[in-house]
Amino acid sequence: MRMDSHTSKTAAVSSRDLRRWIILGTAFIAALCLLSFTVGQRLGENAVISSQNAVLEQQVVQNWRQTLEDQATAIEATRQQYSQQMDMLTLRLGELQSRLLRLDALGQRLTSMSELPEGEFDFDSLPSVGGPEDIVAPESFNLADLDSALSRLELQAESRQQQLGVMSDVLVYDKIARQQVLAGKPVRTGWLSSQYGFRSDPFTGKRAWHNGLDFAGQDGSDIIAVAGGVVIFAGSRYGYGNTVEIAHGDGLVTRYAHCKEILVSVGDVVQADQTVALLGSSGRSTGPHVHFEVLQDGKGVSPQKYVQRASR
């Protein structure tokens, strides 16, 4: 009886231990499952976060790459724009240099025509400039400033060229007008040997009309044009011998007769004081001299007032 009671107690203890172990095992398994679930969840969340971070990082990299590409495109566009602007400025600078060369040539021509003292205007050298140094910090020109400066220079150059062109035309006209003014003697050296008007004919001794002035001088010396004009006759005329006739405009013609040698041809343009023939005694002449006539619309007029003019 006592043995049965002990056996019963032992069985009860074993049963309780088994249940305890079962409960502990179940709890352990549950804990293990919970831990596995938690770890899996955490790993899954981490994987999702890692995937999201990778996507975000890829987007950031892509955005930076796109930004760099956009900046590179903008830089290239700006470089091309500046290159085009520089090419345009270079072209304008070349045109401006050409204008300045023309202005220099025109200025030299005007200086020569105006008979200004040599060296007063030297177009081969830069103008002399100077002044105190600016205390403000110097700044370099940018493209906008350079473009504006070139525009002002272009306008100034165009204005100066027009003004100098007008001055050139005026001086040319004035020079031509002065060239056409009859003044002075038809010889560089010599003397008046016969007046205009009635005189005693040197061959017959009778009273005869003399239609010009005679200037005697050394045989072969220069006969010069008293004004600029065009040669309309160069040859021999009856009684006059070798003769040169020059038209000066407005119906005025000068005649140079008894020449030893003629140095011009019909159609030649001659200037005042230019040698047109050599003094001689051809034709009806008693010795080396030039017979000088002035014709107005084909009629002889007194050369005296033209010879006596102070300017030529």
CATH of the domain at 236: 2.70.70.10
- Better-predicted residue by pLDDT, 145 or 74: 74
Give the mean pLDDT of 98-108.
70
Of 76, 107, 138, which residue sits at a domain end? 107
Q: Is residue 96 located within the same domain as residue 199?
A: no
Q: Is residue 202 in a domain?
A: yes
Residue 183 has pLDDT above 50, yes or no: yes
pLDDT digits (tens, 9 = 90+) for 142-159: 667 667 777 777 777 776
Q: Is residue 138 in a domain?
A: no
Instruction: Find the range with the poorest average confidence among 19-33, 60-74, 281-295.
Output: 19-33
Residue 280 has pLDDT above 90, yes or no: yes
Give the mean pLDDT of 270-297.
94
Average pLDDT of every residue of the chain: 77
Q: Is residue 102 in a domain?
A: yes
Range of the domain at 89: 1-107
What pLDDT shows up at residue 1? 47
Amino acid at 128: S
- Contact between 294 and 303 under an 8 Å Cβ cutoff? The reply is yes
Of 109-123, 204-218, 296-310, which has the strongest mean pLDDT?
Answer: 204-218
Q: Is residue 101 located within the same domain as residue 202?
A: no
**Other beta carbons within 10 Å of 242:** 21
Q: Which residue has the tokens 């019963």?
A: 8
Q: Is residue 4 located within the same domain as residue 102?
A: yes
Q: Is residue 153 in a domain?
A: no
Q: Is residue 101 in a domain?
A: yes
What pLDDT shows up at residue 299? 92
Q: Is residue 132 in a domain?
A: no
pTM higher than 0.75: no
Task: List beta partners, residue 215.
Answer: 192, 290
Interior angle at CA 280, CA 185 and CA 250, nearest 5:
40
Question: Encoding tokens for residue 179?
Answer: 């060239």
- Better-predicted residue by pLDDT, 108 or 293: 293
What pLDDT shows up at residue 74? 79
> pLDDT above 70 covers what percent of the chain?
61
The H-assigned helical ranges of the chain are: 2-114, 143-180, 304-307
Of 79, 107, 135, which residue sits at a domain end? 107
pLDDT digits (tens, 9 = 90+) for 228-277: 999 999 999 999 999 999 999 888 999 999 999 999 999 999 999 999 99
The total number of structural domains in the chain stands at: 2
Q: Is residue 198 located within the same domain as residue 99?
A: no
Helical (H) or strand (E) element with 124 = none
Q: How many residues does the chain have?
A: 312
CA 311, distance to chain mean position in Å, is: 39
Q: Is residue 10 in a domain?
A: yes
- Contact between 226 and 210 under an 8 Å Cβ cutoff? The reply is no
Residue 217 has pLDDT above 90, yes or no: yes
Of 46, 75, 107, which residue sits at a domain end? 107
- Contact between 287 and 279 under an 8 Å Cβ cutoff? The reply is no
Question: Encoding tokens for residue 255?
Answer: 């005649």
Q: Is residue 5 in a domain?
A: yes
CA 162, distance to chain mean position in Å, is: 13
Collapsing DSSP to helix, strand or coil, 269 comes out as strand
